[in-house]
Structure 1
Amino acid sequence: MALLDGKKLLITGVLTDSSIAFHAARLAQEEGAEVILSSFGRQMKLTQAFAKRLPVAAPVVELDVTNEEDLAALADRVKEHTDGLDGVVHSIGFAPQSVMGGNFLSAEWGDVATALQISTYSYKSLIEAARPLMSGGAYVGLTFDATFAWPVYDWMGVAKAGLESANRYLARDLGPHGIRCNLVSAGPIRTTAAKSIPGFATMEDAWPQRAPLGWDQTTAEPAARAVVALLSDWFPATTGEIVHVDGGVHAMGQ
């Protein structure tokens, strides 16, 4: 029996075949899950193209997490493809470049608000929109360790700290409904999102040397495996947790 046999999943954030979300969708299908993707606007064509590269071509539903109409319609759009969900993956984050790359003090509220809405508040918005389709199950999001003030990450680091806090509160409020909420904190991976951060190379270059297990920045597979494991029934009593997939850097001193 495969790890996710019979599971029905909604996975957001598939924009390239190098992303954690894409590899999570691929592995989930290989482990027996039925996968539905979401996208919106100009990104929709990209997601549809990469959906065809999965082992089984996945349907793509429209969802802009900042659009209340899209959120309200999500359950009905997913129902066109399946009758319920056992798991949801939140792989959503965005911040204007003006709030990263050393611009912490000069960042303006409007741009910071955009980062917080998309990268933090959407974590609550997405699961609330999907919850009518769920009778228990797993909610998994992606973070980058917000314990420290990282070079160049700036307000996105603040947004991730908020995400990690929101995960704990969602674990509290959704636990009685049988929904487990956990995050995967991956080390730096050379994804499209990472490349959009000004000066990101200054943060990633030393990572392989600091990681006790070493670190391969070119593959999202280890992080995706953690996502799939958390979507499975093998963590029935784990919620509010952050699983680090970073080669061990989070546990080391500077």
Structure 2
Amino acid sequence: MGLLDGKRLLITGVITDGSIAFAIARLAQQEGATVVLTGYGRMSLVERVARKLPQPPSVIELDVADAGQLDSLADRVREHVDGLDGVVHSIGFAPASCLGGDFLDAPWEDVSTAVQISTYSLKSLAVACLPLFGEDGGSVLGLTFDATVAWPGYDWMGVAKAGLESTSRYLARELGPRRIRCNLVSAGPLRTMAAKSIPGFATFEDAWSSRAPLGWSNTDLEPVARTSVALLSDWLPATTGEIVHVDGGFHAMGV
């Protein structure tokens, strides 16, 4: 019996088979879940990556900045499953001006894009999926990178992640009466395609190798996937508004 037997999940952000979202989707299927993926832009690429999963899932298009696509999301998901028990938000984007050390120069139009796609979209996605949750509720899960401190080069994406963490807490408050939990997983640095686009990413990796008491592999997605599957399951029924760190213990250490 799998941890997610009978669960129906919508998972966003599967860009490559080296993404965190792909690792979550793969393990969720292995644990018994039915998975539907969303993609944006190069849909043929997303569909090709989806076929690498143990059971190739349905893929639908979703631009979280498109109100029309959000409004139609529930109906489009119902074409593949009769409801949802969990949603994974693995979406983030910031224009180049918002990363790399030019924090003071980034224009508002670029910053607003980063905030809309990386922060506000958690609320947008959750609201769009509300009609798909039943009386038993379920789980909304997002991914963050520790926003309690300032990271070199992370700049306005760090600000967007701080907003994401706050948004998750407010969603936990608003969705709790519907028995829907909202939590985040804060992962250590992983060599995903998204991470490679961050200038100075190697600086993060160097710090982790010397400070994480459990050690840290920047190529092993399994710990994050396992934690995510646990949060999507029924095994943490009273946990919401939480940020679960999967970083080898780095966040708890001093200099």
TM-score normalised to the size of structure 2?
0.98
Aligned AA (1:50) = V
Native 8 Å contact 1:97 1:198 kept in 2: no
Secondary structure at the counterpart of residue 105 of structure 1: helix
Secondary structure at the counterpart of residue 171 of structure 2: helix
| Runs of 4+ that moved beyond 2 A | none
> In the alignment, which residue of structure 2 is the partner of 1:189?
190
Alignment of 1:148-163 (within 5 A): 148-163=149-164
Higher mean Cα deviation, 82-91 or 195-204? 195-204
Aligned AA (1:18) = G
Aligned AA (2:198) = I
Q: Indicate whether 1:41 and 2:41 are aligned.
A: yes
Could you tell me how far apart the structure 2 residues matched to 1:95 and 1:200 are? Answer: 15
Could you tell me how far apart the structure 2 residues matched to 1:226 and 1:165 are? Answer: 20
Alignment of 1:218-237 (within 5 A): 218-237=219-238
Native 8 Å contact 1:87 1:231 kept in 2: yes
Over aligned residue pairs, what C-alpha RMSD do you find? 0.7
**Deviation by residue 1:101-127 (Cα, 9 ceiling, x = unmatched):** 111111110110010000000000001
Aligned AA (2:116) = Q
Aligned AA (2:149) = F
Could you tell me how far apart the structure 2 residues matched to 1:130 and 1:252 are? Answer: 38
Could you tell me how far apart the structure 2 residues matched to 1:184 and 1:45 are? Answer: 29
Native 8 Å contact 1:140 1:230 kept in 2: yes
**Deviation by residue 1:186-240 (Cα, 9 ceiling, x = unmatched):** 0000000001111211222221211000000012111111111100000000000
Q: Which runs of 5+ in 1 are unaligned?
A: none
> In the alignment, which residue of structure 2 is the partner of 1:94?
93
**Deviation by residue 1:34-84 (Cα, 9 ceiling, x = unmatched):** 000001222x12210111000000110111000000000100110110100
> In the alignment, which residue of structure 2 is the partner of 1:168?
169
Could you tell me how far apart the structure 1 residues matched to 2:184 and 2:84 are? Answer: 18
Could you tell me how far apart the structure 2 residues matched to 1:155 and 1:80 are? Answer: 37
Cα distance, 1:19 vs structure 2? 1.0
Could you tell me how far apart the structure 2 residues matched to 1:17 and 1:205 are? Answer: 25
Q: Indicate whether 1:132 and 2:159 are aligned.
A: no
Secondary structure at the counterpart of residue 205 of structure 1: helix
TM-score normalised to the size of structure 1?
0.98
Could you tell me how far apart the structure 2 residues matched to 1:46 and 1:249 are? Answer: 35
Higher mean Cα deviation, 196-205 or 57-66? 196-205
Could you tell me how far apart the structure 2 residues matched to 1:220 and 1:193 are? Answer: 14
Could you tell me how far apart the structure 1 residues matched to 2:192 and 2:78 are? Answer: 31
Could you tell me how far apart the structure 1 residues matched to 2:239 and 2:95 are? Answer: 34
Native 8 Å contact 1:182 1:239 kept in 2: yes
Native 8 Å contact 1:18 1:219 kept in 2: no
> In the alignment, which residue of structure 1 is the partner of 2:52?
53
Could you tell me how far apart the structure 1 residues matched to 2:113 and 2:222 are? Answer: 29
